[in-house]
């Protein structure tokens, strides 16, 4: 789930940035401090959206920079357990696929793909269902449920696990085929 969150902080403007407009310098400092962080409470911090910086800064003895209070909004992505989300397959491996959901990749393990024996064709880079004939390749779009989320602190990406083994989940082509009553996989071209 994407969120807009308002935060308050105090930032330091380095003397080398004194010739820039205050808002531009504050924006640069906030972006370097927050963008790309992963936080257990906030999720994945994607971008600083806007800010209001107090023009009256403080000077601390022994520090040539100025310190300003700032109120700003950030755009975050916070995956929640049991949330249904769609993502594109960005990598296929023998153990499963990685789906791009929001700004991160989630693991869709082979055991969570479908009720079928699955083999990996390394030459073509696809996963194949033995009985159903269904294939999974790069670029396919899946609807999945988030079943595991871990948030490490810092700039590490964390881990997200998803499943497609529930009704109305899976490759979108399979869902459309099921809804239309067709047994064959529909082509999405």
CATH (domain of 172): 2.40.50.140
In a shared domain, residues 107 and 61: no
Q: Is residue 187 part of a domain?
A: no
In a shared domain, residues 176 and 90: yes
In a shared domain, residues 54 and 117: no
pLDDT for residue 21: 94
In a shared domain, residues 63 and 145: no
Q: Is residue 147 part of a domain?
A: yes
Domains in the chain: how many in total?
Answer: 2
Structural contact between residues 21 and 48, judged by C-beta atoms closer than 8 angstroms: no
pLDDT for residue 41: 87
Q: Is residue 46 part of a domain?
A: yes
Q: What mean pLDDT do residues 24-52 have?
A: 92
Per the structure block, which two tokens stand in for 60?
Answer: 């601390």
User: What CATH number does the domain containing 19 carry?
Assistant: 3.30.1490.120
pLDDT at 94 over 70: yes
Q: Is residue 188 part of a domain?
A: no
Residue where a domain terminates, one of 77, 94, 121: 77
**Mind listing the pLDDT tens digit for each residue in 124-177?**
999 999 998 899 999 999 999 999 988 776 566 678 999 999 999 999 999 998
Which single residue is written with the structure tokens 């294939």? 135
Residue where a domain terminates, one of 77, 101, 131: 77
Mean pLDDT of the chain: 90
Q: Is residue 125 part of a domain?
A: yes
pLDDT for residue 39: 84
pLDDT at 100 over 60: yes
Confidence grade of residue 181 (pLDDT, cut at 50, 70, 90):
confident
In a shared domain, residues 94 and 62: no
Q: What percent of the chain has pLDDT over 70?
A: 93
pLDDT for residue 186: 45
In a shared domain, residues 144 and 57: no
Confidence grade of residue 187 (pLDDT, cut at 50, 70, 90):
very low
In a shared domain, residues 164 and 96: yes
Confidence grade of residue 189 (pLDDT, cut at 50, 70, 90):
very low
Domain containing residue 118 = 84-180
pLDDT at 183 over 90: no
Residue where a domain terminates, one of 77, 106, 135: 77
**Mind listing the pLDDT tens digit for each residue in 65-90?**
999 999 999 999 999 999 999 999 99
């Amino acid at each position: 789930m994407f969120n807009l969150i308002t935060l308050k902080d105090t930032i330091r403007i380095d003397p080398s940035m004194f010739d820039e407009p205050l808002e531009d310098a504050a924006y640069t400092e906030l972006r370097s401090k927050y963008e790309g962080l992963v936080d257990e409470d906030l999720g994945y911090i994607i971008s600083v959206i806007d800010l209001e910086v107090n023009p009256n800064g403080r000077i601390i003895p022994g520090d040539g920079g100025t310190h300003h209070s700032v109120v700003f909004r950030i755009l975050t992505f916070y995956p929640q357990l049991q949330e249904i989300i769609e993502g594109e397959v960005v990598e296929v491996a023998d153990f499963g696929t990685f789906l791009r959901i929001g700004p991160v990749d989630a693991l869709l393990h082979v055991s969570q793909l479908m009720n079928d024996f699955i083999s990996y064709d390394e030459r073509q880079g696809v996963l194949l269902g033995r009985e159903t004939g269904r294939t999974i390749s790069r670029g396919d779009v899946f609807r999945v449920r988030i079943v595991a989320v871990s948030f490490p602190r810092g700039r590490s990406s964390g881990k997200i696990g998803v499943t497609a083994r529930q009704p109305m989940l899976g490759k979108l082509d399979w869902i459309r085929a099921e809804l239309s009553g067709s047994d064959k996989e529909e082509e999405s071209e």
